[in-house]
Structure 1
Amino acid sequence: MVKDIGIDLGTANVLINVKGRGIVLNEPSVVAIDTKSGRVLSVGSEAYQMVGRTPSNIRAIRPLKDGVIADFDMTEQMLSYFIKKLNVKGFMSRPNILICCPTNTTDIERKAIRQAAEKSGGSKVYLEEEPKVAAIGAGLDVFQPHGNMVIDIGGGTSDIAVLSLGDIVVSRSLRAAGDKLNSDIANYVRNKHNLIIGERTAEKVKMEIGSVLKGHRDETFSVRGRNVVDGLPKTITMTSDETEEAMHDTMQAMISAAKDLLSTTPPELASDIIDRGIVITGGGALLDGIDMLFSEHLKVPVMISETPLDDVALGTGKLLDHIEKSN
């Protein structure tokens, strides 16, 4: 019996949902290769440990950038590795795969995603837009004739969409999300404290003490890196308010995209959103104060999904059932 699988192909993580078994895999989207031989050394969690720590002949690469495939061969190898690891293919059988992509993906990018999934062992490959799948995973009933609004802040892209009758009515996709916030923090630390830090350290700062609201969180974190001036190791203490300052511009860009979207939403659906509120999902939903920040600017109730990191993968499972029933 071949099992259908749903894949959340994220810039930061890949999650795989196997029909009847739920989410069985959640690993970083990283591949480590030997640059001399081109051989893949490790994939996923093991490769992530190597980011920023490899000797010159080993490179840890992220094959997806801003929610789309930046390195086709590596994406295919990564997907094949994960699918093999699951052992879902029976003898002579290939699973149907449902895979998610951001709303502004071009036809060429969609073709690349589809080909990568087919080459990694899929029989029928379905592509769905991420905010729709995330909304379904978050428990919103998008198949009814009323408006639901979702803000999905992932690693590479933030997708904002209004859904009704099982489809996206209006949407915006920004290539500014978790990874951009990490680089905002790294740039801030460099400019303000003369300290160079890596992307993993910046992400740790964001997760440990990050906040998007001034004065909402009062925590500090010791940040270690390399001094710009003399090149020696140095430690500084960073506060939650400093992370707000670092991430401020990117958060404002997300807010103005959401405002822009609301201004183009049909009035009937806009009134539904005032009643039902907006749901934030994706890793960015875990940022301290994010619901209050959006609510303050958009003048609409904002809730955080219960399982923001898993919503897209959970949604693929529900959609596979839906596709099966409608076929």
Structure 2
Amino acid sequence: MAKATLHQKTHVAIDIGTSKTKIHIERIGMVFNESTILAIDWKTNKVLAIGDSAKKFVGKLSGTLQLKYPMKRGVITDMNMLKKFLLTILNKYAAEIKDSIVTLACPTSVTELERSSLIKSIKELGVFYVNAEDDVKLALYGAGVDVYKTVANLCLDLGAGKSTAGIVVSGETIQSKWTKIAGNTIDQEIIKQIKTKEQMLVGEITAEQIKNTVCTLVKSKNMLKLTAYGYDLNSGLPKEFEISENDVSKLLIASFGSITSIVTNVLEGSPNEIAGDVIRNGIVVTGGLAKIPGIKSFLEDFFEIPVKIANNCLTATIDGAVKHKDLTIQKYEHEKNPLDIVF
């Protein structure tokens, strides 16, 4: 097939995250950037809502309505639901994605069997070719790092369901470690702490709001505070309470202390030349938790190497997938004619 014909095909970029899934279609733009969650009728198994529309039902379930989370803590918990989730979104754009080329960002925690199953499901929509790439590699690429050079770079991707540290060189993830300690874990710790200290019960959405508002790794000049609402465990009645950065500082530092261990393990498992590249180039941080104030100085003090917070930390992975069209085409041509293509 002529290269010009391949480049004329529509390119679709997909990033499946624990918290959010992002889908970008060439010439249309971002068609989906919403929560990875479905609301279904458990009797009929019919999808009633998807994405942010389904998230509105969190804590408000009734009747036969049931919420399904296809991914939890970076792991696929229900492959059938994940397929249903993706196909429900993509079927709306069946005409646009027909005979298209897809770059799929896959967590390093996903098994080869699960990758193959996802690729097969997407191909059934009439897609021409699906290329699954590691999410940390695409995050680095989206952050502006040339991952195809013979220079090693380390990405610390701090997502909602998992935190991943990966070293990429010559277009391959040569070393990676991940932990379930991430954004959602911090939310749960906040819920536990408020229950213990304040005798108040708050939900996941409130805990996430607290994390995004008052969590910081550096002392603020003006104390970060938030007025939140929950249920008083003693009276059983709704009540408002105030929470500040001091209330959550210890649990935040403990969480990040655990996250640093995966970076240490990745560096310890790498050859000296690779580790040397990382020390010179530093760490690139992506993901939602990269927005927490003070994370740059915290990591630089801990590792004593440069740390860069990606400007597009929230969208680095999908940005990398979008940029990957030409390289996805090269990979397809290499698979078809392995002796003709040299990277």
Same fold? TM cut 0.5: yes
CA distance in 2, matches of 1:69, 1:119: 20
Deviation for aligned residue 1:240:
1.2
CA distance in 1, matches of 2:49, 2:126: 20
Q: Which residue does the alignment assign to 1:231? A: 236
Conserved 8 A contact 2:155-2:284? yes
Secondary structure, aligned partner of 2:217: coil
Conserved 8 A contact 1:185-1:247? no
CA distance in 1, matches of 2:126, 2:216: 41
Conserved 8 A contact 2:143-2:320? yes
Q: Does 1:325 align with 2:330?
A: yes
Q: Which residue does the alignment assign to 1:15? A: 22
Q: Which residue does the alignment assign to 1:48? A: 55
Letter in 2 for 1:200: I
Q: Which residue does the alignment assign to 2:131? A: 126
Q: Which residue does the alignment assign to 1:314? A: 319
Match of 1:251 among 253, 256, 264: 256
Q: Does 1:272 align with 2:277?
A: yes
Letter in 1 for 2:31: V
Conserved 8 A contact 1:217-1:241? no
Unaligned runs of 5+ in 1: none
Secondary structure, aligned partner of 1:89: helix
Deviation for aligned residue 1:14:
0.7
Runs of 4 or more consecutive aligned structure 1 residues displaced over 4 Å after TM superposition: 214-217
CA distance in 2, matches of 1:320, 1:269: 28
Q: Which residue does the alignment assign to 1:154? A: 159
Secondary structure, aligned partner of 2:133: strand
Q: Does 1:204 align with 2:209?
A: yes
CA distance in 1, matches of 2:55, 2:123: 25
Q: Which residue does the alignment assign to 1:180? A: 185
Secondary structure, aligned partner of 1:265: coil
Q: Which residue does the alignment assign to 1:63? A: 70
Unaligned runs of 5+ in 2: 1-7, 334-343
Q: Which residue does the alignment assign to 1:25? A: 32
CA distance in 2, matches of 1:217, 1:256: 31
CA distance in 2, matches of 1:14, 1:251: 24
How many residues are aligned here? Answer: 325
Describe the shift of the 1:174–1:213 C-alpha distance in structure 2 as closer, same or farther (beyond 3 A): same
CA distance in 2, matches of 1:208, 1:88: 42
Deviation for aligned residue 1:29:
0.8
Deviation for aligned residue 1:257:
1.4
Q: Which residue does the alignment assign to 2:119? A: 114
Deviation for aligned residue 1:20:
4.5
Deviation for aligned residue 1:169:
2.2
Describe the shift of the 1:216–1:85 C-alpha distance in structure 2 as closer, same or farther (beyond 3 A): farther
Q: Does 1:296 align with 2:301?
A: yes
Deviation for aligned residue 1:282:
1.0
Deviation for aligned residue 1:104:
3.0
Conserved 8 A contact 2:76-2:110? no
Letter in 2 for 1:208: T
TM-score, with normalisation over the residues of structure 1?
Answer: 0.92
Describe the shift of the 1:152–1:241 C-alpha distance in structure 2 as closer, same or farther (beyond 3 A): same
Q: Which residue does the alignment assign to 1:98? A: 103
Secondary structure, aligned partner of 1:76: helix
Match of 2:223 among 186, 202, 218: 218
Conserved 8 A contact 1:211-1:217? no
CA distance in 1, matches of 2:121, 2:228: 39
Secondary structure, aligned partner of 1:77: helix
TM-score, with normalisation over the residues of structure 2?
Answer: 0.88
Secondary structure, aligned partner of 2:57: coil
Describe the shift of the 1:301–1:141 C-alpha distance in structure 2 as closer, same or farther (beyond 3 A): same
Conserved 8 A contact 2:103-2:328? no
Deviation for aligned residue 1:215:
5.3
Letter in 1 for 2:74: G
Secondary structure, aligned partner of 2:123: helix
CA deviations over 1:159-180 (Å, ceiling 9, x no partner): 1011111111221111221111
Match of 2:83 among 70, 76, 80: 76
Secondary structure, aligned partner of 1:54: coil
Conserved 8 A contact 2:131-2:328? no
Q: Which residue does the alignment assign to 2:147? A: 142
Conserved 8 A contact 2:10-2:25? yes
CA deviations over 1:42-98 (Å, ceiling 9, x no partner): 1112111221222242122221112232122321221112213345536xx343322
Match of 2:200 among 195, 203, 226: 195
Letter in 1 for 2:146: D
